[in-house]
Amino acid sequence: MHLLTSLSLLLLGASQASSRVVRYDWNITTLNTTIFDGVRGALGYGINNEPCDQHPIEVTFGDEVEVHVTNQLTEQTCIHWHGLRQFGTQEMDGVSGITQCQIQPNVTAIYRFKPDKCGTFWFHGHEEVQYAYGLRGPLIVHCPADQKQSWEKDVYKEYTVLLADWYHDLPVGAPIWDTVLINNVGRYNCTVAEAAGLECGPGRPLPRFQFVPGKKYLLRLINTSAMAAFKVSIDGHTFQVVASDADYLKPSTLVNSVTINVAQRYDILVQAKSSPSQGQGQISQKKTALGSYWLRVNSLFGLPWTARPADQVPDGFNP
C-alpha cells in the first residue's frame, strides 16, 4: 500500500422544521474540465454549467424533495440518490434500465421522494461513466431540533467535504486516477500534462474551511470516487466519528484518522485548536492570530487497493 497526499487548507478562524416540498431545477451539462485540476481532459459533467458540489440538496427530515432534471447532454443520463431506501417511491431510485428508463437528450424527468432518515447522503449519475467525470454531489438531510443527537448542541458549524478521484481520459487497462479532488478542486503537474499534449493551467484555489479556536465542527466526509479509497486526517487534531453511512453511532474515542472507501460517508466531530505547533503544516510566514492546518486526504493505491501495482502508475500520477 502506498500513500499520496492531496491537501486542503483548514483555517482557524437552520433549516425550517415544517414539512415542505423542496424543489431543485437542474440542467445536466458538460463542463470545461480545467475547472477541476487545471487540465483539459476528455470528459466533464456538471449541473447548470457548474461543478455539482455547487448544487447540493439540503433538506430537513420530513421534507419532500423534488428535482427537475433536464438532460442537456447529447447522451442519455439519470440520477441515483445514494443511501436512500425510497420506501414507496422505488421508481425514483434513478438506476437506469432497472428502476427507470434513461433520460434522453432534451428531456426533463421529475424525481420526487421523501428521505427515510436524517444523515449524510449523496447523488450521482447512474449511466455509463458520468459520475466518475463529475456528475456527483452531496445530499444532506438534517434532523429536526427535537430529533438531534446530544452532541449536536455543541456543533458551532458544519462543512461537507466531498472526496473524489479524477481521470483525464478513459483509462486503458487497469485503471488508476490522475488527481484527487476535495470539493471538486485538485492539482496536477502542468509540465507532465503539457508533455502529454494536454492543456494545463493553475487551477482554482484549494478549499478552505474557516474554524474558530475552541469551537466544535461537524465535517461530513463523502467518498464520491469511482475507485479510490482515502485515509483522512487533520494535522494537529484528533476527532470523533459520530455517524457512518447516515447511521448515528456512539461517538468514538478520539482518533487521528479514518479510512473511507468508495461511496462511504463518515461524519466526524472535531474541536479546533488555537494554533499549530511547529511542523504541523502552518503555511503562512506572517505572524497572525489565526493558525492554519492541513486537511490531508491520502489516496490508497497498489495491491490490495488497486489492480495496478504501485510501481506501475503513469507519469504525473499525483492525487
pLDDT of the chain along its 319 residues, tens only?
454 455 555 555 444 445 799 999 999 999 999 999 999 999 999 999 999 999 999 999 999 999 999 999 999 999 999 999 999 999 999 999 999 999 999 999 999 999 999 999 999 999 999 999 999 999 999 999 999 999 999 999 999 999 999 999 998 888 999 999 999 999 999 999 999 999 999 989 999 999 999 999 999 999 999 999 999 999 999 999 999 999 999 999 999 999 999 999 999 999 999 866 544 443 333 344 457 899 999 999 999 999 999 999 888 887 7
Whole-angstrom CA distances from 222 to 62, 138, 165, 230 are: 23, 8, 12, 10
pLDDT value for 316 = 86
Question: Rounded to two decimals, what is the model's pTM?
Answer: 0.91
Q: Do domains 2-10+154-312 and 14-148 have the same CATH topology?
A: yes
pLDDT value for 173 = 86
User: 14-148: which CATH topology?
Assistant: Immunoglobulin-like (2.60.40)
pLDDT value for 119 = 99
CATH of domain 2-10+154-312: 2.60.40.420
- Domain spans in the chain, listed from the N-terminal domain onward: 2-10+154-312, 14-148
